[in-house]
Structure 1
């Protein structure tokens, strides 16, 4: 079975993933669809949440020239969405709408506790009574027609594949948790140990540095030490880590530190990713 989610496929291969942020609107989608990115992260936390506009952005990410002869109609660039609600608000309806429109993953801001993480995974799963009790239960409502069409598969197959990876080995949905506070870092070992279904951790170094009274001082020793703790904890649990601010100046260090997903600002081409791709042999 062909893997639909390119990010998951690359993580399974042990490869580095390259991508960038984009506004959740059609013009931004068109600007990135011809770029050799693996991932586009549609930013709806700091941009307005607009589901119809996001739906159009997902459609404009598709290009018929890239789809001719393909087994599915899935965009070559994997779209995931950073939703506006943080973990503590328990507002999983944003995740439900993003997934129902066809997104392949959800980025959850401000996950601080085990309970926040469990809710995030649960919101990305359909309910099933036959699952083990230790797994996060499903909370997602049933409305798959648009998502199945976007993925290019029958609804029956969508149900089989619309689960979170790696908890479901054939799952195509990526749950990304943002760790962006001291509390979250202190709880990260418990989060990863007690909540199966977390596919990726992203360090929110902007909010973390703000909390420390060091706004955007990403290279300050205190910030660096906390980031190293995140990397070490994730490595112990076998979970990849994303870096959200890759530049030409820091890309070599980012790769050396062990980040597996490299993201840039919302631009079409960026020397940092070009350099990183060359260093990674891609």
Structure 2
């Protein structure tokens, strides 16, 4: 599937490369600028910014570049759009994942996922229902059926969209990435069970800010206890061969993060182009 892969983040991983990304505001101008940025993906930030689905739909349209599509001969986006939704894992939310997917994003990141049940819900919310007994039935999909806008945005027929709009790596052909944020001691304690029992989690993004708060060292990202907690997350992800991400990548820590096996590196847009170039050079491509 690598040659036909639409999701650039998954494509990078399948090629043995780390993926580089940044958070993005949900507005047209930023989205248009991000399309020309050197990222594999961007994450529209809707947890701490307003949850604006209409604005997200507009932003996604501004990411379309007809010239790039014509030159590449592929409907795969030059930069893959994902969304971080507002609802915490404990809220067991479903409609926000459904709505951002229906606009056309290629993945959903859920903050504050701490238990197996919460992770299961995050994956199920991104999957369409299948007949019982069908292959890859679990987690049972609960995403409502409304594919028209997403299929049009992806440049696919609705049947082709249905075929590709499943969760990777549970479905190897799937183009949707389900990410969970691990940002509390409880989440760390439960992470081994989560990754053992919930097929379909493709990314664990460490929430350093909230994790450092919970440990009593707010935003002290280099504090030994914070670093040790992050080390535990990384080791658990490596054990289960699940990509681990860092949202505060910069020129000072990118080499260490790559050396520790981080596969999803996010940096602030204002200074990220240099970090992406540095990271790709360190990664050997």
Query: Normalising to structure 1: TM-score of the pair?
Result: 0.96
Pick from 226, 230, 242 the counterpart of residue 227 of structure 1: 230
Q: What is the number of residues matched between the two proteins?
A: 282
Distance (Å, rounded) in 2 between the aligned partners of 1:246 and 1:69 = 32
Provide the secondary structure at the position in 2 that maps to 1:79: strand
| Partner SS state of residue 59, structure 1 | helix
Select between 67-76 and 39-48 the one with higher mean Cα deviation: 67-76
RMSD of aligned alpha carbons: 1.4
Compared with structure 1, are the counterparts of its residues 232 and 253 closer, same or farther at alpha carbon in structure 2 (3 Å cutoff)?
A: same
Measure how far apart 1:63 and its partner are.
1.3
Asked if the contact 2:169/2:200 (under 8 Å) is kept, the reply is yes
Q: Distance in 2 between matches of 1:134 and 1:77?
A: 30
Cα gap change, 1:268/1:73 in structure 2, threshold over 3 Å: closer, same or farther?
Answer: farther
Q: Following the alignment from structure 1 to structure 2, what is the Cα–Cα distance between the partners of residues 18 and 78?
A: 11
**Cα distance change on mapping 1:134 and 1:96 into 2, 3 Å:** closer
Cα 1:195–1:250 change in 2 (3 A) is: same
Greater Cα shift, 170-179 or 269-278: 269-278
Corresponding position: 1:196 with 2:199: yes
User: Contact (CA 8 Å) 1:246, 1:273: kept in 2 or not?
Assistant: no
Q: CA deviation at 1:13?
A: 1.9
Q: 1:11-46: per-residue Cα shift (whole Å, max 9, x none)?
A: 122211111111111111112111111111110001
Q: CA deviation at 1:281?
A: 2.2
Q: Distance in 2 between matches of 1:210 and 1:178?
A: 15
**How far apart in 1 are the matches of 2:222 and 2:206?**
14
**1:57-136 equivalent positions in 2, closer than 5 A:** 57-129=59-131, 130-131=133-134, 135-136=138-139
CA distance in 1 between partners of 2:105 and 2:262 (Å): 23
Q: What are the Cα deviations for residues 215-253 of structure 1, in whole angstroms up to 9, with x where unaligned?
A: 000010000001000110011101010110001111111
Segments of 5+ residues of structure 1 without an aligned counterpart are: none
Residue 142 of structure 1 is aligned with which of 142, 145, 152? Answer: 145
d(CA) in 1 for partners of 2:275 and 2:172?
Answer: 32
Q: Deviations over 1:70-103 (max 9, x none)?
A: 4443421000000000111122111101100110
Range moving further from structure 2, 100-109 or 24-33? 24-33
User: 1:15 aligns to what?
Assistant: 17
- Seen in structure 2, the aligned counterparts of structure 1 residues 179 and 269 have a Cα distance that, compared at 3 Å, is closer
Following superposition, the deviation at residue 131 of structure 1 comes to 3.5
Relative to the length of structure 2, the TM-score reads: 0.95
What is the CA distance between 1:65 and its match in structure 2? Answer: 1.9
Partner of 2:183: 180
Matches within 5 A, 1:17-56: 17-56=19-58
**Structure 1 position 248 matched with structure 2 position 251:** yes
Deviation at 1:277, TM superposition (A): 1.5
**Alignment partners' CA distance in 1, 2:136 and 2:283:** 40
Distance 2:235 2:221 in 1: 18
